[in-house]
Structure 1
Amino acid sequence: MKRKWKIILGISLPLLIAAGVMAGVRWSQRDLVTVQTGGTVRSDLTAVVTASGEIKPRNYINIGANAQGRITDLLVKEGDRVHRDQVVARIEHIQAQADVAAQKAAVASALADSAAAEEGLKVMDETIKSAMATVDRFKTELDRAKLNLDRSDELFKAKLIARQDYDQRKADYDSAAAAVRENDARLSQMKSQRAQVAAQLAAAQRRVSQAEAGLARVSDVLAKFDAVAPLDGVVTNLPVRIGETVVPGIQNSAASTIMTIADMSLITAEVKVDETDIVNVQLNQTAEIKIEAMPNRSFTGRVIEIGNTAILRSSGLAASQSATSNQEAKDFKVVIALEHPPDEIRPGLTCTAKITTATRRNVLTIPIQALTVRKKGDLERPKEGVQAAAESPNDRSRRVELQGVFVVNNGRAEFRKVETGITGATDIEVLSGLQEGDQIITGSYKTIRTIRNSARVKVDNRTPVLADTKG
């Protein structure tokens, strides 16, 4: 019997000792937190802003109808190349063409009247010249008759000629003077007639100008029935067919779109960047563009335009056009010019752009998930006695949030405030607060979120094994 108790005690005693040791170990590790760690290292870091959008030509124009009517001709098809001022479509224009023909006839009639008045003025000029020559001739005859009358007057006073001869010389002089007066009056009348003809010519010329202005107006109306390409480009959209009726735009309604012509010499990716990232985007930054329709291919480009107006993500309208203020997410338009677009690219293709906003070489970096935020009051050790009573629970300084990481120091988690720089895909730049080689806590997420300053930690960097889910 004694032998049996000895055996039982020999077995139970070591078990009790082992249990006590394990309980002591567990008691000593009751506040030990298991963490994963990583080191601060130097590496190259690139900050990238990712945004999605679509491919668009830099310059494209929607050609709308400038007149109402039925489409009679479509002179191009979708995908055709067109040249500036090329007629690409025609609208029915019977009335406008008739108006142009009538106005051309009016111009021709006015030109004929003007030409007739001009010829009449030339005739009057020649007639006036002839009348002036006649007046000069009669004035010469008057001078000669005056000389004869003076000579006859002297001879008559000397009684060398008969009175009959003297009276004849005087009658000749009076007749010549009357002829001069008659021709002077006729010349004045002709000049008045010339002024009248000149006025008729000026009126005819004004009627010509008026008719030509009317012709220009109706010709412009007729030209609006032709759709003309405003630039060299490619027809990218042709939503109408021959026979459809189109209408011009009015105050509250847009014109019917006949086609869209795009200048494919400069292709862009128009993307929408989140409002939190737009401050980092600048002109001439490089970007990598991937097009969903062209997998396994990427294209380079540069930022050429940054929008200044926020766009509501739900409606696509500018935030300034919204009647109410809200906290809805907003985007900003960014345009990227592709440097070497392929020939098969098409407007409207969905694309994703990665814009490189900053690059750093050989800088101190840490994993992004290691970064956390704590209130200043949570990092301080609890105070006792009079000091604790003197502290106000509403002390604002204790509610200040600090950004930092937890560093493993002598087996404990020590919070370090850090200043950060640019953010890469998985790492973030550290400007101050850490040294190269510091061991920082990187996981798990729950641990980083809940761990307290000065907590005892146990490092376990083993890769977690996923449970086998196979039945």
Structure 2
Amino acid sequence: MKRRWIFIVIIGVILAAILIYSTTRKDTTVMVTAKAVKGQFDVIVSTTGELAALNSVDIRGPEGLREARIHNVKIVDLIPEGTVVGAGDYVASLDKTDATNQLQNMEDQIEKDEATVLQTQLDTTMSLRDYRNQIKDLEYAVEERQIILDQSQYEPPATIRSAEMNLDKAKRAYEQAVYNYALKKEQAEASMVKAEINLKRQYQRYNGLINVLEKFTVYAPQSGMVIYKKEWDGAKRKVGSQISFWDPVVATLPDLTKMIAKTYVNEIDISKVNSGQPVLIGVDAFPGRQYTGLVTEVANVGEQLPSSDAKVFEVIVLLNETDTTLRPSMTTVTQIKTNTYSDVVYVPLEAVHSSDSLSYVFPVGKNIRQIVDLGEANENYIIVNEGVDPDEEFYMTIPEDAESREFKGWDIYEKVKARRLEEERIKREEMEQVQREQEERLRLMREQGGGPNGMQPGMMTPDANMRIRSGVRPSGGGQAPSIRNK
């Protein structure tokens, strides 16, 4: 019996504690509120980016890689990024392995070409000597036939005629040999010229490659701070990276007196950004500093960054201030002021709620849901064109009795709805106008082309041409043409 009473008392204490806790929690619930403000409203597009120098000098690898037929060269040594160098100071070394092997191959080829020149010269000398001896023998034969003819003056006519014919044959053989010798000499000279040209080209390539190899040790063209060159994917060139003849830049020497911030704006906000807009720039490395600047460039074509699936547009901001402590690649937070409204009413974004096409707020002290007409917004606030008074207070969260509150301001909703319909009508008319202009251009093109499809008279459409080539009978009758293979 005693245990039962103890158990009942414990249960009662627990229930009382739960009741007290629930009552206290309900009574101490606090609804966060905020007031509408009237004044200047700035539309801000906030992005992150990085610093870069407006102007820089490239530290380039050797010129002449293309002429030397070297496509890619590996960086085997590179001084640390941020090193301050003077003009002529060492910066990097490039891998000479492939170039050295190519140089050895050239030396072997030069030896072969020199042997070819010598062999051609010897062959030419011996061949021309044989031709000269042959000409000399034929010259003696002509003299011999001439003597025989002279001694046959008192011989019978047949003997004289035979001697004349032999002399004529000897002369023709001599003349033919002289002509052949001239041709052979020209041929030999051409062979020598060809062999010497090949040898000269090899020497030129060889000397050019030696000059290129001498530049495989890279030096700074002027004084400055070394910043690594970035690849197309954003990765920096370092030891193990490769340079090519179309992009031989190893590193850069930025001009730190003029800095820019490269940032990327998503496709939703890019229509708000234009050149000349003011920008406030913060640098993560210096939390207490802020810089001002202007938008100088806005990309016309979007791109997709490796770390994101969204399309973004590159925006270049020129900093107004000069600060030599700023360094390229430092992370920035840029706030682009795309528009400014004066004397407007705005509230925090959290105070505005939506249901279907309705936007409304919960005024403090009023058991209603006030419909509002909204304007532009920034990261924290949104303009209220109608439905809110300055200094009026609103709940930042949805009250528990939200569903029981009636909507007020249906006239505002009708205005918003009418404006949206008008905007849609204007947009639809603009699209229809564009479509009509396109159709008109197509019509003019067809008329100028001479046919309904913009084709000259007598020309066949691609479908008709395909039917003919496949042997299909034309729709107008007749025989299907045959195609002969030529």
* TM-score normalised by L of structure 1: 0.50
Q: Determine if the alignment matches structure 1 residue 236 to structure 2 residue 227.
A: yes
Q: Does structure 1 residue 342 correspond to structure 2 residue 323?
A: yes
Pairs within 5 Å for 1:188-267: 188-191=179-182, 193-194=184-185, 196-198=187-189, 200-201=191-192, 204-205=195-196, 207-208=198-199, 211=202, 215=206, 222=213, 225-226=216-217, 234-237=225-228, 247=240, 260-261=251-252, 263-264=254-255, 267=259
Which one-letter code corresponds to 1:360 in the other structure?
Answer: Y
Instruction: Name the counterpart of 1:54.
Output: 50
Match of residue 378 from structure 1:
none
Cα pair distance change 1:274/1:102, threshold 3 Å? closer
Match of 2:83 among 74, 78, 83: 78
Kept after mapping to 2: 8 A contact 1:49/1:357: yes
Say if 2:402 is the partner of 1:402.
no
The 8 Å contact of residues 362 and 395 in structure 2, kept in 1 or not, is answered as: no
Q: Distance in 2 between matches of 1:271 and 1:310?
A: 13
| Distance in 2, Cα, partners of 1:79 & 1:115 | 55
- Structure 1 runs (4+) deviating above 6 angstroms are 34-37, 58-65, 73-77, 118-129, 131-136, 138-143, 164-172, 228-233
Q: 1:301 aligns to what?
A: 294
After TM superposition, give the deviation of residue 454 of structure 1 in Å.
Answer: 8.3
**Which structure exhibits the higher relative contact order, with contacts defined as CA atoms closer than 8 Å and separated by 6 or more residues?**
1
Q: State how far apart, in whole Å, the 2-side matches of 1:278 and 1:174 are.
A: 102
User: By how many angstroms is 1:348 displaced?
Assistant: 3.0
Higher-Rg structure is: 1
Q: Which residue of 2 aligns with 1:45?
A: 41
Q: How do 1:291-370 and structure 2 match up within 5 A?
A: 291-294=283-286, 295-302=288-295, 304-305=297-298, 308=302, 317-319=307-309, 332=312, 334-340=314-320, 341-362=322-343, 364-368=344-348
Cα pair distance change 1:220/1:285, threshold 3 Å: farther
**Inter-partner Cα distance in structure 2 for 1:446 and 1:76:** 51
How far did residue 346 of structure 1 move?
0.7
Listed as ranges, the gaps of 5+ residues in structure 2 are 1-30, 62-70, 230-237, 409-486
The CA deviation at 1:289 is: 0.9
CA distance in 2 between counterparts of 1:76 and 1:424 reads 38
CA offset at residue 300 of structure 1?
0.8
Equivalent-residue separation in structure 2 for 1:118 and 1:353 (angstroms): 75
- Asked if the contact 2:36–2:393 (Cα under 8 Å) also holds between the matched residues in 1, the reply is no
Whole-Å separation in 2 of the counterparts to 1:318 and 1:76: 27
Deviation at 1:403, TM superposition (A): 0.9
* 1:237-288 residue CA offsets vs partner (Å, 9 max, x unmatched): 59xxxxxx965669xxxxxx99643544774324466787566445654311
Amino acid at match of 2:279: A
- Report if aligned partners of 2:74, 2:242 keep a CA contact under 8 Å in 1: no
Superimposed CA distance per residue, residues 355-384 of structure 1 (whole angstroms, 9 cap, x where no aligned partner) = 11222244x323336843365xxxxxxxxx
Distance 1:247 1:54, change over 3 A: closer
Structure 1 residues 35 and 178, CA, compared in 2 at 3 Å: closer, same or farther?
A: closer
1:348 partner SS: coil
Quick check: 1:186 aligned with 2:177?
yes
Quickly say closer, same or farther: Cα 1:302–1:403, change in 2 above 3 A: same
Cα deviations by residue, 1:194-241 (Å, 9 ceiling, x for unpaired): 365256336525743774697489669957955588999852259xxx
Q: For the residues of structure 2 that align with 1:425 and 1:310, how far apart are their CA atoms?
A: 24
Offset at residue 420 of structure 1 (A): 1.5
Quick check: 1:74–1:90 contact (8 Å CA) kept in 2? no
- The range that moved more, 438-447 or 285-294, is 438-447
Contact 2:285 2:331 survives alignment (8 Å): yes
Taking a change above 3 Å as real, the CA distance of residues 81 and 444 of structure 1, as seen in their structure-2 partners, is farther
CA distance in 1, matches of 2:167, 2:294: 101
Percent identity, aligned pairs only, is: 17
Task: In structure 1, list runs of 5 or more residues that go unmatched.
Answer: 1-33, 154-162, 239-244, 251-256, 320-329, 376-399, 456-471
What TM-score does the superposition give when structure 2 sets the normalisation length?
0.49
Is residue 287 of structure 1 aligned with residue 279 of structure 2? yes
Q: For 1:197 and 1:142, how far apart are their aligned partners in 2?
A: 32
Structure-2 residue corresponding to 1:268: 260
Change (3 A) 1:66 1:227: farther
CA distances 1:153-198 after superposition (whole Å, capped 9, x unpaired): 9xxxxxxxxx479999879856753552342243144245336525
Equivalent residue number for residue 110 of structure 1:
113
- Match of 2:226, SS? strand
Q: Distance in 2 between matches of 1:95 and 1:190?
A: 48
RMSD of equivalent CA atoms: 6.2
One-letter amino acid of the structure 2 residue matched with residue 355 of structure 1? I
